[in-house]
Homo-oligomer: A and B are copies of this chain.
Amino acid sequence: MKKINIFETGAFSDKGMSRNILHDSPFFKIINFNFRPGQTMPIHSHDIEGELSIIILDGEGEFLGKDGYSIPAKKGDALISEIREPHGIKAITELRVIVTIAPPI
C-alpha cells in the first residue's frame, strides 16, 4: 500500500498544467494534474484500446471533446472516456484532477 495526498504533494506551475505521476503499474497509471485558471490539457486521443477516468477533486472547469464539445467540470465529477475518444480539460478556477488510465499508456 502507498498513500499520496494531492493537496500536499501536487504543485502548480505558471507555465502550464502540472503533471504528477502518482502510480504506474501494468494495471493502471494514475496521474494528478493541477491547473491554474485558464490553463488547459489540449484535446488529444490515442488510437489504442482502453479507457480513462478524470475525477475532479477541487475547482471548476470544462471537459473538452471533439467538434467544440464542452461540458462543465466541477468537484465530484467523474468523466469516463475511451482512450481513443478526443478529450481535454480547461480550468476556470484552480483545478485539481486525478486521471486513471487502464491499461496504462
Instruction: Kindly identify which residue among B32, B53, B57, B81 contacts A100, using a CB–CB cutoff of 8 Å.
Output: B53
Contact between B53 and A2 (Cβ–Cβ < 8 Å)?
no
Contact with B along A84-98 (1 / 0, CB 8 A): 010100000000101
Q: How many copies of this chain sit in the oligomeric assembly?
A: 2
Contact between A78 and B28 (Cβ–Cβ < 8 Å)?
no
Q: State the A residues within 8 Å of B (CB).
A: 1-8, 22-23, 25, 27-28, 30, 32, 50-51, 53, 55, 57-58, 63, 65, 71, 74-81, 85, 87, 96, 98, 100, 102-103
10 inter-chain pairs at a CB distance below 8 angstroms, sorted by A residue, are: A3-B71, A3-B77, A3-B80, A7-B75, A23-B78, A53-B100, A55-B98, A57-B57, A76-B96, A102-B103
Given contacts A23-B53, A100-B53, contact A77 B5 (CB under 8 A): yes
Q: Which residue of B lies closest to A98 (CB)?
A: B55
Within the complex, the shortest CB–CB distance from A22 to chain B, in Å, comes to 6
Q: Which residue of B lies closest to A23 (CB)?
A: B80
Within the complex, the shortest CB–CB distance from A98 to chain B, in Å, comes to 6
